[in-house]
């Protein structure tokens, strides 16, 4: 159960070129962890920002826990990411100098039961790069079909 939760942002791989990767914990409230354990979360539209030397994830959707009583959490709110100070400073410098983006790529539950997010420092792809990726993907698919015919 602990390792089974694996929520990905598949669109990010198509839109961005990844440069560096970091794993961060998420500061959650109330029933949010229970919703994540039921895979009722989405990071497709999410992005990360640095505010007052702290990293926050915005637009991450965590649906309400159906068995919660009167105290329910907000579906979309800024959630603090837990990183080391040196990592935050390093990310902040690169975001300011190179104009990169900080994108959440994968959310998972550790064996200890903690929710973590894999965030990646990314640079947006140009249109021709996206076309090239689609072309190589189609070529690989076509080669696999041809190889299957010969077997």
Query: What pLDDT is attached to residue 68?
Result: 72
Residues 6 or more apart whose CB falls under 8 angstroms from that of 133 comprise 14, 125
CA distance 122 to 104: 10
Q: Is the dihedral of CA 129, 134, 135, 139 positive or negative?
A: positive
pLDDT bracket for residue 141 (50, 70, 90): very high
Q: Which of 97, 85, 24 is nearest to 53 (CA)?
A: 85
In angstroms, the first-to-last Cα distance of the chain is 39
DSSP string, 41-94: EE-TT-EEEEETTEEEEES-EEPPPTT--S----SB--EEEE--HHHHHHHHHH
Whole-model pTM: value is 0.79
Residue pLDDT, tens place only, 49-96: 999 999 999 999 888 887 777 777 778 889 999 999 999 999 999 988
Residue pLDDT, tens place only, 9-44: 888 888 888 999 999 999 988 888 888 888 888 899
pLDDT bracket for residue 105 (50, 70, 90): very high
Query: What pLDDT is attached to residue 1?
Result: 44
Burial class (CB in 10 A: 0-12, 13-18, 19+), 68: middle
Query: What pLDDT is attached to residue 2?
Result: 45
* Domain 6-125 CATH superfamily: Small protein B (2.40.280.10)
Residues 6 or more apart whose CB falls under 8 angstroms from that of 114 comprise 25
pLDDT bracket for residue 121 (50, 70, 90): very high
User: How many beta carbons lie within 10 A of that of residue 7, not counting itself?
Assistant: 19
Q: Which of 116, 37, 31, 39 is nearest to 82 (CA)?
A: 116
């Amino acid at each position: 159960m602990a390792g089974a939760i694996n929520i990905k942002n598949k669109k990010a791989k198509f839109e961005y070129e990844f440069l560096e990767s970091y794993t961060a914990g998420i500061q959650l409230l109330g029933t949010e962890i229970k919703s994540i354990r039921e895979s009722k979360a989405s990071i497709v539209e999410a992005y990360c920002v640095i505010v007052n030397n702290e990293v926050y994830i915005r637009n991450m959707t965590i649906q309400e826990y159906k068995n919660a009583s009167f105290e329910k959490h907000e579906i979309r709110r800024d959630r603090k990411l837990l990183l080391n100070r040196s990592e935050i400073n390093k990310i902040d410098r690169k975001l300011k100098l190179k104009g990169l983006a900080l994108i959440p790529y994968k959310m998972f539950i550790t064996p200890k039961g903690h929710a973590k997010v894999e965030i990646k420092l990314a640079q947006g792809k140009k249109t021709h790069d996206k076309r090239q990726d689609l072309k190589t993907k189609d070529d690989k698919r076509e080669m696999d079909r041809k190889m299957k015919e010969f077997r």
